[in-house]
Structures are given as C-alpha cells and as structure tokens.
Structure 1
Amino acid sequence: MLIYLVFAVVAGFLLANQNPINADLRKIVGSPFLASALSNFVGSIFLGIITIIVSHTLFPSWTFITGEPVWVWLGGLLGGIYLTSNVLLFPRLGAVQTVILPILGQILMGIVIDSFGWFGALQISLSTFRFIGILITLVGVLIAVVLPSLSGKSQAKSSSNETKNLLVWRVWAVIVGGLSAIQQAINGHLGTLLHNPSQASFVSFFLGFLAIFLVALIVDRRLPKFSELKKAKVWNGFGGILGALFVLTTVLAVPQIGAGLTIMMALIGQIVGSMLVQQFGWWRSLRYNIQRFQVIGVLVMLLGIVFIKFL
C-alpha cells in the first residue's frame, strides 16, 4: 500500500510541473489548443509504447467497446478539457492558484462521487467529519487565494474589469477541478473493467488527444508550423509524458488504495510542486515569492483533507 501512496504523491508533483511546461509550449505555437494537442500526442505515444510492451495490443475489442456505457469513454475528453484549461489558467492565475482552485473542485466533486457511488466508485456517506473537512478546506482556499490578492491591492490597484475576469477564471478553475475528479473516477473504473491499467490510460489519453486536435483544427484552422516547433526545447515535450504518468498512476492506485486516498495524496504532491514552481520559476515560468498566506492556506487545506479522508 505504501508504494501506491508514494506513487500518487509523485504523480501529483509531476502534474504541477506539467502546467508551466505546457504554458511555455503555448507561447511557442501561439495557441492553447495546439499546445494541449501536442502534449496529449506525446503522452499518447508514451502510453502506447508502454501498452504494447505490457499487453501487445493497443485498443480493446469492438465487443468490449460496444458493450460498455458511453460514460466509460468520457475520461479522455474531460482530461483534454482539464489540460487545455490549465494552459489558459497558468499565465492568468499563477502556479499556486492554478493548482489550489482545481483542488477545491476535485475535493467537492470527489465527495459527491463518493456519496452517491457514481462512476463505479464505492459509496461513502457524508459524515460529520467529512462535512467539517469541507468547511476547513474552503477556509484554506480563502486564505491561500483571497488574502494574497487583498494584500496585493495595497501595492497595485486592479481595474474592475480585471477583477471580474479573475473571478471568472477562478470559478472555471474550480469547475475543471471537478471534471478532473470525474476523469480519475472514470479512468479507474475503466482500468478495472479492462484488467489492464496501461491500456485504460492509453485509451483515455488518446481519446483526449483526438478531441483536442479536432477543436484545434476548428478554432485555429492550422497545424503547428515546423518553424515554431524548432524553437521548442526538449523539455517542452515532457508535459505530455508527465500527464501520461499521472493518468497511469491514478489508474494503478485507485483499485489499490481507493479513489479518495489517491486523489488526496496526489493533491499533496500538486500543492508542493506548484509552490516550488512558483518560488524558483521552473520551466521558464515567472518567479513569485511564496507568501505566508499561501503557506498557511495550504496547511489549512491539508487539515481539511485529513478530516475528509481519514476521520
């Protein structure tokens, strides 16, 4: 069990590094959709190689595909929405908020999934401790997100339009976090149905690539230019691999330690990773010193997670 806990934490840390890598790729190709499509394409190839090595086949049988409900195949689409949203959110909200706000959505949606047993998850009732945990987590988000914003206003005033735009992006960040929780639950269930975690991860990632690629063609009406790709660094391709490893790890961990514990441990890794990315400006991202409000807020959120998942 310990090894799966460690896997989940490391996967969350890697996912926090995916955001700035893909954000930098967006600057190179000039489109969040093309950047997401390229990231998913690299991740699909990575998972495809692993799947062929492990199981000598890529896709499940047609009988299996037609015999399962449609929602089993939605994990890749939701993952594509989450990935593209992070590319858009990162330059607007910064590394920490881009992770913390989706975390709130993941926790809230994870509780709904557990309470009703959606997507093949084990049904867990909403206890008093879990409800207290939700309230504590909300307080942590307010401390980590709102207080630093208020303190920043003393240094620079923001226009009302900028404030409204930030609010819209923050709300969307919470929503995509909920979609991410649904994705993890669906992918975990798909891995159980297929009895093949690597194949389930590949199918999810590949479907996400197809969805993002079609959107990119419709919106941008072009493919990435070779002259643009020549400007990319080798590590600009790591985003897809990191995302693929995250999906693979969650598919492996969910059947072993449960969806709730997997999400929680991955969230801890994401929080730590995002704070380090912001502090040191990794992957050509802007450097911001971590504020004490953010540290306090994260610690309060972790306390809330403990109430939700352990008490």
Structure 2
Amino acid sequence: MLIFMTISLVAGFLLSNQSPVNADLSHIVKSPFIAGTISFIVGTLFLAILSLAMSGRLFPSTTFIASQPMWIWLGGLLGAIYLTSNILLFQKIGAIQTTILPILGQITMGSVIDQFGWLGAETIAMTPWRFTGIIVLVIGVMIAIALPSLTNRDIRQFDIAKTHRKRKSLVIGWQIWGVVVGVLAAMQQAINGHLGTLLHSTGQASFISFFIGTILIAIVTLLINKRLPTIVQLKATRPWNWFGGFLGGTFLFVTVIAVPQIGAGLTIMMGLIGQVIGSILVQQFGWWHSIKQRMVPAQALGIGLMLVGVGLIKML
C-alpha cells in the first residue's frame, strides 16, 4: 500500500510542474486553449507508446466496447471539462478560489466514491479516524494554499479585480462550478482506474482517456480561437515547453494504477499533497519561468497537517 501512496505523491509533484510549463507555452502561442491542446496531444502520443509497449494494442475490441456501460468512457470527457473549466474559472473568480474550490470538490467526491463504492471502486467505510483525517487534511490545504495567497497583496488585488462589479449570483454560480469541477476530476480518476481493471491494462486505459480528451479539447480550441499555432510560434518554443503532456500523461497513468489498490480518496489526497509540495518548490525556485515566491512557515505547517491527515485516514 505504501508504494502506491508514494507513487501517487510523486505523480502529484510532477503534475504541479505542468501548469507553469503550459503557462509559459500559452504565452508563446497566445492562447491557454492552444497550449492545453498541444499538451494533450503530446500526452496522448506518450501514452500510445506506453500502451503499445505494455499490451501491444491501443483500442479495445468491439466486443469489449459493446459489453460495457457508456459511463466507462467518460474519463477523457471529464478531463477535457476540467482543463477548460480551470482556464475559465481563473478569469471569472481569480487564482485563490480557482485553486481551492476544485480541491474541496475532489476530496469530498473521492471520499464519497470510496464510501459507497461508486464507479467500480472498492467500498471503504467512513470511520471516525478517516473523517477526522479528511478534516485535518482540508485544514492543511487551506493553510498551505489559501493563507499565503490571502496575505499576498498582488494576488488579492488580482482576484478582487476579477470579481469586482460582477453580479453576486454570477460569481456564486462560478464558485459552485469550481466545486463541481473538482467532483468531476475525482470521478475521472475513479472511472479511469476501473477502466484499467476491466482492460487489464493501465497503459491502454490511460491512452483511451487522453485520446478522447485530446479530441474534445481540440474541438473546443478551434471553436474558441478559430486558428492553429503558427510555425513562428512553434519555433519560438523551448524543448521543455513540450513536457506538459508527458507530466499530465504520467499523472493519469499512475492514478489508473493506484485507484484500484488504495481507493479513489487516498489516491486523490496523496496526489494533492504532491501538487502542493511541487507548487511551493516551483514558486520557491522560479522553475519554468514562473514568478518566484518564497516559502512561508504557513505552507510548511499546512503540508505537515496534510500528512497528519493522511496518517489519521490510514488508522482504520
């Protein structure tokens, strides 16, 4: 069990590097949607090679497709919705809420999926220790992410500017959608994990999810931007600008492995801890051309509480 928790943590750390990589790419191609599409394409190619190496095939048989419920193929759709929504939420409710609300949705839905065994997941009862651990973990997330952002004047002013003069009902609607996006992300991990179990191939399940997501995000990008990146823009990229898809594909591949072994809730929580640690280090050292921001004691305290929360969750 410890090995699956560890690889989920590492995968979350890798995923935290995807956002600044894609953000730098979006500056070059002048569109976060085009950058996201490029990232999905690279991730799909990476997972295609991985699937072929592991199982010798990419797509399941028509017999398998006909015998499975439709919801088993929704992982890619939910991934595309998650990516698109995060881009939109950032512009609608600012950086702090765009980070916090989906996390709350993920933790809540991951726990519910485990409690009731939804989406093919193994049932994991909600014990007092587990409930206490989840509360402690959420508090740790708030301290590690929300508190430093709230004390950062530039971030506060940016977020106020995004919500200023907008109808309160509209802002609340986007806030609710932020939580829903997190719920969908948790569902995606559970669905992909179950698909991997049914196919007996983590590589193939990961590829299928990314492949579907790539098609959908490409359609959205063409509808919104109505253009492709230019040759000049692509030539201006640096080699690491193309790593985003590899990082996202690796994260998805690991979750497909981990969810059937340790449950959706714990996989999500370990991934989130990895993402928080990774994000802090990215900002501390200014990796991938990101803005440097020194680590503060609150972030260390928050990470500590998150780890305590996971420890309490495992006291079954």
TM class, shorter-chain normalised?
Answer: 0.7 to 0.9
CA distance in 2 between counterparts of 1:144 and 1:282 reads: 19
The 1:310–1:278 alpha-carbon spacing in structure 2 relative to 1, beyond 3 Å, is farther
Give the C-alpha shift of residue 283 in structure 1: 0.6
Give the C-alpha shift of residue 129 in structure 1: 2.4
Residue 230 of structure 2: aligned partner = 225
Deviations 1:38-95 (A, max 9, x none): 101001011111212222221111221122111111111111222344556679528x
Q: Which moved more, 1:42-51 or 1:84-93?
A: 84-93
Q: Which amino acid aligns with 1:35?
A: A
- Map residues 12-23 of structure 1 onto 2, 5 A cutoff: 12-23=12-23
Residue 68 of structure 2: aligned partner = 68
- Map residues 1-311 of structure 1 onto 2, 5 A cutoff: 1-86=1-86, 93=95, 101-153=101-153, 160-162=160-162, 173-311=178-316
- Describe the SS at the equivalent of 2:23: helix
The 1:146–1:272 alpha-carbon spacing in structure 2 relative to 1, beyond 3 Å, is closer
- Describe the SS at the equivalent of 1:288: coil
CA distance in 1 between counterparts of 2:159 and 2:43 reads: 40
The 1:65–1:37 alpha-carbon spacing in structure 2 relative to 1, beyond 3 Å, is same
Q: Is the 8 A contact 1:140 1:301 kept in 2?
A: yes
- Describe the SS at the equivalent of 2:242: helix
CA distance in 2 between counterparts of 1:100 and 1:85 reads: 14
Give the C-alpha shift of residue 174 in structure 1: 4.1
Identity across the alignment (%):
55
- TM-score computed with the length of structure 1 as normaliser: 0.87
CA distance in 2 between counterparts of 1:178 and 1:41 reads: 25
Deviations 1:264-290 (A, max 9, x none): 332222121111011111111111112
Give the C-alpha shift of residue 210 in structure 1: 0.5
The 1:123–1:249 alpha-carbon spacing in structure 2 relative to 1, beyond 3 Å, is same
- Describe the SS at the equivalent of 2:229: coil
CA distance in 1 between counterparts of 2:154 and 2:120 reads: 49
Q: Which amino acid aligns with 1:211?
A: L
- Describe the SS at the equivalent of 1:59: coil
Deviations 1:137-158 (A, max 9, x none): 3433443344334434599867
The 1:63–1:172 alpha-carbon spacing in structure 2 relative to 1, beyond 3 Å, is same
Q: Which amino acid aligns with 2:7?
A: F
- Describe the SS at the equivalent of 1:235: helix
Q: Which moved more, 1:187-196 or 1:267-276?
A: 267-276
Q: 5+ unaligned residues in a row in structure 1: which ranges?
A: none
Q: Is the 8 A contact 1:104 1:141 kept in 2?
A: no
- Describe the SS at the equivalent of 2:14: helix
- TM-score computed with the length of structure 2 as normaliser: 0.86
The 1:258–1:141 alpha-carbon spacing in structure 2 relative to 1, beyond 3 Å, is closer
CA distance in 2 between counterparts of 1:146 and 1:267 reads: 14
The 1:255–1:141 alpha-carbon spacing in structure 2 relative to 1, beyond 3 Å, is closer
In the alignment of these two chains, the number of paired residues is 309
The 1:153–1:50 alpha-carbon spacing in structure 2 relative to 1, beyond 3 Å, is closer
- Describe the SS at the equivalent of 2:243: helix
RMSD of the alignment, in Å?
A: 2.9
CA distance in 2 between counterparts of 1:169 and 1:140 reads: 24
Q: 5+ unaligned residues in a row in structure 2: which ranges?
A: none
CA distance in 2 between counterparts of 1:229 and 1:209 reads: 19
Deviations 1:85-136 (A, max 9, x none): 4556679528xx8666543322111011112211011122322223323332
The 1:59–1:116 alpha-carbon spacing in structure 2 relative to 1, beyond 3 Å, is same
